[in-house]
């Protein structure tokens, strides 16, 4: 059986209510505000054996900042790398030139090997490759990745687009890893679509929610 690609344009009704098919029990489902920040849930993607998850609407000049929150994203393939990329043509293609950096803190289930490390292999330097969010995610039932991607002023046609991520994973080697990355999409064209995928295999399960921030 071939892989499935899903593109999510909007699961939110005109009244701002999320349809029942997209509701799950993740702890961040009903978040609406953080001190000093107002969040508007724009759409929800629920994975089920998808090769990619793409957001091709709701990323516009309405908000200066957008958050993508992923919950318990589980790979079909053990040790797969979770990634994202942007598009300037509403998702017809993905591959905006990017420079980014990556580091993390890790600890094994056995209580050995705890360390903080800068991961040069996850860096990008003016590359059009997909951008690492969390490498080597395990596919046991207690292994997955959760986190947040923040993109700033994606609709600007003057400046490049900064982003930051914070996430965790339980990897194929039974380590829990706290990951940080940041960088910029080096384009002065508006970024109007974002795609997530693993570098190998499908996205078995999990949700990704898109919020507008004001």
Smallest Cα–Cα separation from 41: which of 51, 49, 33, 52?
33
pTM score of the predicted model: 0.84
**Contact criterion met (CB below 8 Å) for 9 and 181:** no
Q: How far apart (Å, rounded) are the C-alpha atoms in residues 193 and 135?
A: 22
**Contact criterion met (CB below 8 Å) for 72 and 209:** no
* Structure tokens belonging to residue 111: 């209580």
Kindly report the length of the chain. Answer: 214
Instruction: Please report, for residues 17, 77, 160, 161, 189, the alpha-carbon distance to residue 155 in angstroms, rounded to integers and kept in the order given.
Output: 25, 34, 10, 9, 7
pLDDT of residue 4: 44
pLDDT of residue 34: 60
Per-residue confidence of the chain (214 residues) as pLDDT tens digits?
Answer: 444 454 545 544 443 433 333 333 334 455 555 666 789 999 999 999 999 999 999 999 999 999 999 999 999 999 999 999 999 999 999 999 999 999 999 999 888 878 999 999 999 999 999 999 999 999 999 999 999 999 999 999 999 999 999 999 999 989 999 999 999 999 999 999 999 999 999 999 999 999 999 9
Q: Residue 35's CB: how many other CB atoms inside 10 A?
A: 4
DSSP string, 48-100: SSEEEEEE-SS-STT-SEEEEEEEEEEESSTTEEEEEEEESSTTS-----EEE
pLDDT of residue 111: 86
Q: How far apart (Å, rounded) are the C-alpha atoms in residues 100 and 123?
A: 6
pLDDT of residue 32: 54
Q: 59-68 as b/e, with b when 16 or more CB fall inside 10 Å? A: beeebebbbb
- State the distance between the two ends of the chain, measured CA to CA, in whole angstroms: 43
Report domain extents, the chain: 4-213
């Amino acid at each position: 059986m071939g892989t499935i690609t899903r593109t999510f344009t909007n699961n939110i009704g005109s009244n701002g209510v999320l349809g029942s098919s997209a509701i799950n029990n993740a702890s961040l489902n009903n978040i609406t505000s953080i001190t000093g920040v107002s969040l508007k849930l724009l759409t929800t993607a629920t994975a089920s054996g998808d090769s990619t998850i793409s957001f091709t609407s709701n990323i516009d000049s309405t908000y200066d900042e957008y958050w993508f929150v992923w919950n318990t994203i589980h790979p079909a393939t053990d040790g797969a790398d979770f990634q994202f990329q942007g598009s300037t043509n509403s998702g017809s293609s993905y591959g905006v030139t990017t420079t980014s950096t990556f580091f993390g803190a890790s600890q094994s289930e056995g209580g050995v090997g705890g360390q903080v490390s800068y991961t040069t292999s996850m860096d990008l330097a003016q590359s059009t490759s997909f951008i690492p969010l969390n490498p080597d995610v395990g596919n046991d039932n207690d292994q997955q990745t959760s986190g947040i991607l923040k993109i700033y002023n994606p609709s600007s046609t003057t400046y490049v687009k900064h982003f930051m991520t914070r996430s965790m994973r339980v990897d194929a080697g039974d380590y829990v890893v706290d990951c940080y990355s940041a960088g910029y999409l080096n384009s002065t064209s508006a970024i109007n679509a974002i795609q997530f995928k693993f570098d190998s295999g499908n996205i078995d399960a999990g949700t990704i929610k898109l919020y507008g921030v004001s």
